[in-house]
Chains A and B, each alone.
Chain A
């Protein structure tokens, strides 16, 4: 009786949780409703976790003597894991968001893999389908765990260079083949009852080991600029793994939540790859961003430096300014100063907009969050397709900490590695001001013709220092607030 009631309760709560997850994600379609969206999804999660302890009333006979210990372990794990992650999530600076998302994502993949391991070691799967799905979920979850950890290390600067060896793809392929072979062997032994050549626990360890190694090998060669795509892929992977383990555990809430995230991750991955004008396989399998062998034609014109104060004053007297922020701005921690400067311009009647490229930052939409953190209202922030036509009627385009996303070579130079990538048309503005640390090249290692244009001036220096000078110069004019 108790078992029936507990099962019914779990069923109802999980159903509600699945609904709340989807409803919550649906509410994320607008910045206005999004905070309530994550809140209702959180309620669903809380309910599902609390209700899952009702499984205690219907555990298998073999597990019953251990029940008290197991419940205790579960509570301790919840408090430690949840507490540590909550604390770190509250404390971490927003610039570190990509690596945190990678880390939490890896944890999810690891959890899915661990569930599969319990099923495999305990020999709890019934039938070939069950076993194959368990192994598949284990594989994807394990790859997501180790891959996400490498992504975290790269984003956090623990590993600062893409690591590449000759024949890397052959090695990766071989490791994958071995993993699949071991998986196939496990299924074969389980199904035929053949005398195992290798003991079962050994095969399972080998299977997980290979899967983890594959995740590491797959992620190591990928460069930092490709991280938005990589994080999306692993997000999708973890979702998929969770969905598959949900099937094994006969839990539809896990199946639905996992698959929704799997599809979401896939969509985001494709969007990111499109914004970089590259296919997903190109990101994962080719070594972009190492040394570009592309020979560039001579660029006409010269770099024309300008003092920060003069640049600030020039913008104060402009009618309209579009700001193109890039990752360099975030590195210099200049967002707050930038918005302070923008408010000065606005007070003087200058129309200011922000143009954000889809891959600005180290994960999709990161620049939007960093601007929001600095207090920039989101109605001032425009995405590429919405603002690109406005550049030609704008007085000043201020490019700050961005490079490749405003390189006109993407439109004109067929031989350029970034040819065809959608870019922000900053070069079409009447005047272009570029704030940059030095004369270096962008992430793709390509010279930017924009900087040499007749309408372009370079303002050299750390973004934050430059902005402080601009603010001082405009304040120094002593103009009335509204012109």
Chain B
């Protein structure tokens, strides 16, 4: 069996088109408050380029190819790791103002008012 992937011509265009649509729709649903983490998050996602870098480096023949391939992996890894680190850090900061406590309080107030009434 052969698992070598082969994407040519129109199939590639279809993939690009569908992926672009998916990206547009998915990102369109993100509220403005999350635009910075979203941007660094999508920045992280294109860090997948490191996989291409590894492929290129493993197939390098000349010293020149090895040097450039080395930088491809170096930069790609930086993109992925840095993008993840900052996104994760930012998202951890978004918190709600203790909703459970609030609800309990208002519930308590209502109960008190009901008793008074």
Q: Taking beta carbons and an 8 Å cutoff, which residues of A are in contact with B?
A: 4, 7-8, 11, 14, 17, 21-22, 24-26, 28-32, 34-35, 37-39, 41-42, 45, 48-49, 52-53, 55-56, 59-60, 62-63, 66-67, 69-71, 73-74, 76-78, 80-86, 88-90, 92, 94, 97, 100-101, 103-105, 107-108, 110-112, 114-115, 117-119, 121-122, 124, 129, 231-232, 235, 238-239, 242-243, 245-247, 249-268, 271, 356, 358, 361, 363-366, 368-369, 372-373, 375, 377-381, 383
Query: Looking across the interface, which residue of chain B has its beta carbon closest to that of A20?
Result: B45
- Give Cα distance in the complex from A77 to B41, angstroms: 22
- Can you identify 19 A-B contacts, CB atoms within 8 angstroms? A4-B1, A28-B34, A38-B87, A55-B54, A71-B58, A83-B81, A86-B85, A107-B75, A107-B79, A111-B79, A238-B43, A249-B52, A255-B16, A263-B27, A264-B24, A264-B38, A268-B35, A368-B34, A369-B93
Give the CA-CA distance A377 to B4 in the complex, in Å: 50
| Alpha-carbon gap, A34 to B33, bound state (A) | 12
Q: Inside 8 A of B7's CB, which chain A residues have their CB?
A: 247, 250, 252, 255
Q: How many A-B residue pairs lie within 8 Å, measured between CB atoms?
A: 411
Interface residue SS majority, chain B: helix
Query: Smallest CB–CB gap between B35 and chain A, Å?
Result: 3
Q: From B23, B33, B59, B96, give the contact of A264 (CB < 8 A).
A: B23
Instruction: Find chain B residues with CB under 8 A from A366 CB.
Output: 36
A104-B82, A378-B96, A380-B97 known; A31-B74 Cβ under 8 A: no
Contact A268 B36 (CB under 8 A): no
Residues of B within 8 A of A118 (CB): 56-57, 60, 65, 68-69, 72
Assembled-state Cα–Cα distance A70/B68 (Å): 12
Q: Identify the closest chain A residue to B82 (Cβ).
A: A85
Whether B19 is near chain A, meaning CB under 8 Å from some CB there, is: yes
How far apart are B27's CB and chain A's nearest CB, in angstroms? Answer: 4
User: CB-nearest residue of chain A relative to B85?
Assistant: A89
Bound form: Cα–Cα A80–B92 in Å: 26
Does B39 contact A231, Cβ atoms closer than 8 Å? yes
Candidates B6, B16, B57; contact of A243 at CB < 8 Å: B16
Given pairs A26-B29, A238-B46, 13 additional interface contacts (CB within 8 A): A28-B30, A48-B48, A55-B59, A63-B58, A74-B70, A85-B85, A101-B36, A108-B43, A108-B46, A114-B69, A260-B42, A271-B32, A356-B33
Residues of B with C-beta under 8 A to A38 = 37, 41, 44, 84, 87-88, 91
Given known A-B contacts A73-B70, A383-B31, A85 and B78 have beta carbons under 8 A apart: yes
Contact A261/B42 with A22-B26, A115-B53 known, Cβ cut-off 8 Å: yes
A365-B24 in contact given A70-B66, A107-B75, A111-B53 (Cβ < 8 Å): no
Pair B15/A256 contact, Cβ less than 8 Å: yes
Q: Please give, as numbers and ranges, the residues of chain B lying within 8 Å of A73 by CB-CB distance.
A: 57, 66, 69-70, 73
The answer to whether A375 touches B95, judged by C-beta atoms less than 8 angstroms apart, is: yes
- Residues of A contacting B24 in the complex (Cβ-Cβ under 8 angstroms): 263-264, 266-267
| B28 CB within 8 Å of chain A | yes
A245 vs B99: C-alpha distance in the bound complex, in angstroms? 47
B86 & A97 in contact (Cβ 8 Å cutoff):
yes
- CB distance A235 to B85 under 8 Å? no
The 5 closest A-B pairs by CB, nearest first: A89-B85, A365-B35, A85-B82, A263-B23, A377-B97
